[in-house]
Each structure stands twice: as structure tokens, then as C-alpha cells.
Structure 1
Amino acid sequence: MGNSVHARKLQRRRPWWRSLFRYRLAAVLVMLGATSAGYLAVGYDRHELPRVHHGGDSSASNAAVREAGCDIKGNINERGEHIYHMPGQEYYSATRVNPARGERWFCSQWEAWWAGWRKAKV
């Protein structure tokens, strides 16, 4: 009996965080549940992606009509690059939007980026 008691005292006690490795699946599920509950508590309906494609007959007819507050010009250059121009940029006033070529107006930079357009470098 004396030897077993002495052997227990010599064993090093494992740190508390090491036992988490044994229960890693349960820990992951608890973290996933906590983040999901937090996301639902905030309200997931406020995190919508922008509506780039408008319903209707064709996208060209919708792009031809400029909505109020949609001042970002989407232009396609000679090489086929899709570029958007912000008000105040150098070539903004010279840029023309031609819906027949697939060019369009955007209401936000996020909407333009989401549609696959890049910002003008100048």
C-alpha cells in the first residue's frame, strides 16, 4: 500500500487545459452553438447581400435607367475589363455608360465589386 500511495504523489498532474483535447468534439460543438446563438440573437435578416441582378425583361433595360443616388459608372474598356468610376475621380465626367455594351450604373462600391467590377486606378 505504501508503494502505490508514493507512486501517485510522484505522478505529475496534467494541466486543466490538456483535458480539453480529450473532449475536443464537445468543445467545438459548444463553440459552434454559442456563435450560432449570437448570430441569431443579433438578427440575421439585416445581413443581406446586395441585389445586383434586378428582375424584369432584361438587364440592359434596367441598367439604362439610372436610379436616384446611383452615381457610380460601370464601364467596359477596350480590353474587356469591367471598371467602375466613382464621382470625383479623374475620368468620371468623360466616362459614358452604354447599356448596349453591358455597361451599367451602381449604387455602391460593394454592389459594383460584388458584380465583378474593379475600381478605376486613376
Structure 2
Amino acid sequence: MALRAAVAAPRGLRRLFSTSPFSSSLNPPQRPQADPSTNLFVSGLSKRTTDETLRETFSAFGEVVHAKIVKHRESGYSKGFGFVKYATLEAAGKAIEGMDGKFLDGWVIFVEYAKPRQPPTLPSQNNTNFQYGRQ
């Protein structure tokens, strides 16, 4: 029984690491890219990473206007992502090239252009199921 499991494992690993162009499950769909801007989204951050560490690390690529890690309201721990805003588009582009996929505080981070916030959508006024106020 153990011998059979050992023989079957490499076949599964071959399928997992296969580079066949006919395998669609190995090519995940590309996420839509945001337009270039001076604001960068940084994900994969450690809970130990601070705003100051983020600012110091990214200042090697240009003038950092703002560096902020998003934190949990109650615990104060990092949620694992943050934003870095640069003074110029060139500095932001250099930071993406220089830091995307690199280590920060022992974790691999991912850097991309931040997508602009979408305004909240209100229910349409034609929706008869939605009522404002009391009935």
C-alpha cells in the first residue's frame, strides 16, 4: 500500500508542475491592472511591519509622500496590506519594479498601482422593494 502511494505521488506532482499549453487550470486569469498613478497598493505585509518601515523601504525609489498600513480597528495589528504614495509617476514605477515579489520583514510582498475607490452605490429609485424611513 505504501509503495503504491509513493509511485502515484510523482505523477500528481508532474501534473501540478506541468507547463503544457493545453492545461487551462495552470494559467489563472489575469487580474485587471489599474491605471498608472502615484499611489501604490502593497500586499503580503507582515504584522510586524510598521508605517515607518514601509516608508524607509520604499524611499529608496523616490520621494514618499505618504506610507500607511491598514490596521484592524480593535487589535491594532496590520491587516497585511497598505498604501505608498509617491511624488512622481517615475518613482512609483521604479518601486513596483524594485519591490514586487521581494522580501520585507521576512514576507514576500506584492506591489501594484492602487485602484481608485468606487463611490458607494445607492439603491435605484425605481426599486419598489426598498423604502426610506418608516412605513
Structure showing the higher helix proportion among its residues: 1
- The structure in which a higher percent of residues are strand is 2
The one of the two structures with greater contact order (alpha-carbon pairs below 8 A, sep at least 6) is 2
Bucket of the pairwise TM-score, normalised by the shorter protein: under 0.3
TM-score by length of 1: 0.26
Greater radius of gyration (CA): 1
